[in-house]
Structure 1
Amino acid sequence: MKKGILLVNLGSPDSTKVKDVRKYLDEFLMDKRVIDIPRWKRVLLIKGIILNTRPKKSAKAYKKIWWKEGSPLVVISQRFTKKVADKLDIPVALGMRYGSMSIKKGIEELEKKGVEEILLVPLYPHYAMSSFETVVEKAKEVNRKYFPTIKMDVMPVFYNKPEYIQVMSKVIKQHLDNFTYDHILFSYHGIPERHIYKSDPTNSHCKIDGSCCENHSRAHRTCYRHQCFETTKGIVKALQLKEGTYSNSFQSRLLKDPWLKPYTDFELERFGKEGVKNLAVVTPAFVSDCLETLEEIAIEGEIQFKNAGGENYKHIPCLNDNDNWVDVMVKWINEWIGEPITL
């Protein structure tokens, strides 16, 4: 069977125009794994309230970070895809969970090249309903409906794989070589606390307290919070960071429900007020820089920190199309080519 690779990232509006941002947000926020409330409530909330105000605000944010070539996330993902493809002898396509660069288009591209077996690669290191899971379920749905003869395997999350930890650590070290920091903040994408409970197959282990993430459980296979902490531990060990010089936080809250804590914006203000002068922020939940890293962290984060009394701020870029990261992905794909991954 001819094999092929489908890399999938989050997605992006087609432009910074309000109408394009609204269309993108509609698809994104109406995803039942992003806002997991009954559909009728989701329709009232998203279409009746959020889409009347948020697109204008988001469009302004996108304008701050938009590149000449287009959306940074899309451009970076395309560069990464090309580099990976150049090192492989099988077809590689790129799809997005939301937006016009759909998963369906990605599979169609592979089908036209005669691909009969696909490795789906969600470009998310950690498992979450609103990221990894929604990509996998959408791809399976599209696969069953439009491409029933194509076999699909899924690359598991890689939050603690040695190669990922190593390449993340190397990138962080490179960006810290000329920056003397007092503290490093590991800022992860935030999710509602209820998503942690919903993803717990034991229905009892996850309590979001000081112990459940440390006590071994099969729940950890799908626990976003645990996996984020494990990523930090791996990087801390690789870089030999001193206790007290780093911490975790979660960014990008939506609505008033409780989300994973501590909140990044609160931490940035706290550090500035408590005398931290030199702060570095890294975002390991993302492999490609996007609105959340380039605008929320790199721009707004710096303003928050300095307004609270901080002096020097360093946003550490994501892996993006880093050559070492490309080599890691190629290695994993070649392992699949030799022996398919099974979940």
Structure 2
Amino acid sequence: MGGPDRIEKVYDYLVRIMTDTDMIQLPFMQHKMGPWIAKKRTEEVQKKYQEIGGGSPILKWTKLQGDLLCKELDKISPQTAPHKSYPAFRYVDPFTEDALAELEQDGVEHAILFSQYPQYSCATTGSSLNTIYKYYKKKGVPKNIKLTLIDRWPTNTYLAQAFADLIKKELQHFSEDIRNDVVIVFSAHSLPLKAVNRGDSYPSEVAATVQAVMQQLNCRNPYQLCWQSKVGPLPWLGPFTDEALEKYVKQGIKNFVMVPIAFVNEHIETLHEMDIEYCKELAEEIGIEKIRRVPAPNVHPLFIKALVDIVKPHLNLSIGVNKKFLLRCPHCVNMNCFHSKKWYSEVCT
């Protein structure tokens, strides 16, 4: 999705989200309701970005991750070098369309479309891939470019190891006598229940990542998967992270480590929602004794190793597209999804 690096970009960012029917389905007149909601929320959201330094660091981290990935790929696969990363955001620059135009100008021969959401959702990866489909549907894929697709990677071993290593480091801040009893709260962006009931695979894939991480930790701590960032009045997937923390404190549990399990770099939901709203404000309000937040993987060496591990099989064009991606949700009603998946099945080598 990207994130505004300056507060002046917040309104346009919100408008693009609120008018994207692949991301959000408003009950009526979305082209008018979306901008109205964006305008109502802009000041509040700007304030949050101001409190984390004036903008989102997501582009900074994405560029660093891409640079480190390509540096390693140049070493292990000189025959396909030079490698270059093109950040492609949905709702703020650098936009997906601009990234695709740039790689064509650079004469790229093989483009690996690499979703940076480890767990697939129709609203996130699906929406991003629909945008790429719409771009090439209008102008056609250049004949000299081959496309392959990485649509999800929830159980990659190095990804799980990176999170496990980060959790171990945070647990060291608790005294040895309680360390193994600290509750690990895995938190991910929630999803409207109507999307879950359509068959969106996101909840199960997030849970799979949690299990992979806990296996790396030998399951020695109690843990719970929770959900954050609910927007609007419709029912969303729970339990919600803030409510879970409140209920655990009432049960007498007062030591926690929070893990942003679906986020690969720092942004508004880690730096504000988790750090300020949960670990500071809520923790003080409900009487948590100690709460630590695990950093997002960012440029952790094991995370970069995960990226390399995922991309490497695509370099020789032996993998085109994951068949799971081509399977629509059982109750899918989005014709963009139908046409997009059909197109990917035809163009990905």
- Interval containing the TM-score (normalised by the shorter chain): 0.7 to 0.9
The answer to whether 1:45 aligns with 2:45 is: no
- CA distance in 1: counterparts of 2:249 and 2:4, whole angstroms: 34
What secondary structure does 2:87 align onto?
strand
- CA distance in 2: counterparts of 1:322 and 1:193, whole angstroms: 33
Contact 2:148 2:321 in 1 (8 A): yes
* Structure-2 residue corresponding to 1:341: 320
- The structure with the largest strand share of the pair is 1
Alignment of 1:215-230 (within 5 A): 222-230=200-208
**Residues 133-179 of structure 1, C-alpha deviation per residue, up to 9 Å, x if partnerless?**
11111122223334521332210311122232222222222332333
Contact 2:18 2:38 in 1 (8 A): no
The amino acid of 2:147's aligned partner reads M
Contact 2:156 2:306 in 1 (8 A): no
* Structure-1 residue corresponding to 2:262: 285
Shifted more, 296-305 versus 157-166: the winner is 157-166
- CA distance in 1: counterparts of 2:220 and 2:33, whole angstroms: 45
What secondary structure does 1:133 align onto?
helix
Mark the runs of 5 or more structure 2 residues left unpaired by the alignment. 74-80, 323-349
- CA distance in 1: counterparts of 2:214 and 2:88, whole angstroms: 33
What secondary structure does 1:249 align onto?
strand
Match of 2:171 among 172, 176, 181: 176
- CA distance in 2: counterparts of 1:161 and 1:327, whole angstroms: 10
TM-score normalised by length of structure 2: 0.82
Contact 1:128 1:224 in 2 (8 A): yes
Match of 1:304 among 273, 282, 294: 282
TM-score normalised by length of structure 1: 0.83
Runs of 4+ in structure 1 deviating by more than 4 angstroms, as ranges, are none
What RMSD, in angstroms, separates the aligned Cα atoms of the two structures? Answer: 1.9
- CA distance in 2: counterparts of 1:61 and 1:273, whole angstroms: 29
Alignment of 1:1-343 (within 5 A): 10-17=1-8, 20-37=9-26, 40-48=28-36, 50-66=37-53, 71-88=56-73, 89=81, 90-146=83-139, 148-149=141-142, 150-179=145-174, 180=179, 182-198=182-198, 200=199, 222-242=200-220, 245-302=222-279, 303-338=281-316, 339-343=318-322
**Residues 291-332 of structure 1, C-alpha deviation per residue, up to 9 Å, x if partnerless?**
011100011101212311112110111111212211221222
- CA distance in 2: counterparts of 1:329 and 1:94, whole angstroms: 14
- CA distance in 2: counterparts of 1:329 and 1:318, whole angstroms: 15
Shifted more, 142-151 versus 159-168: the winner is 142-151
* Structure-1 residue corresponding to 2:336: none
The amino acid of 1:42's aligned partner reads Q
Mark the runs of 5 or more structure 1 residues left unpaired by the alignment. 1-9, 201-221
Shifted more, 76-85 versus 176-185: the winner is 176-185
Contact 1:92 1:110 in 2 (8 A): no
**Residues 13-59 of structure 1, C-alpha deviation per residue, up to 9 Å, x if partnerless?**
24113xx2110000012111221246x432343223x1232110000
Contact 1:190 1:253 in 2 (8 A): yes
What secondary structure does 1:46 align onto?
helix
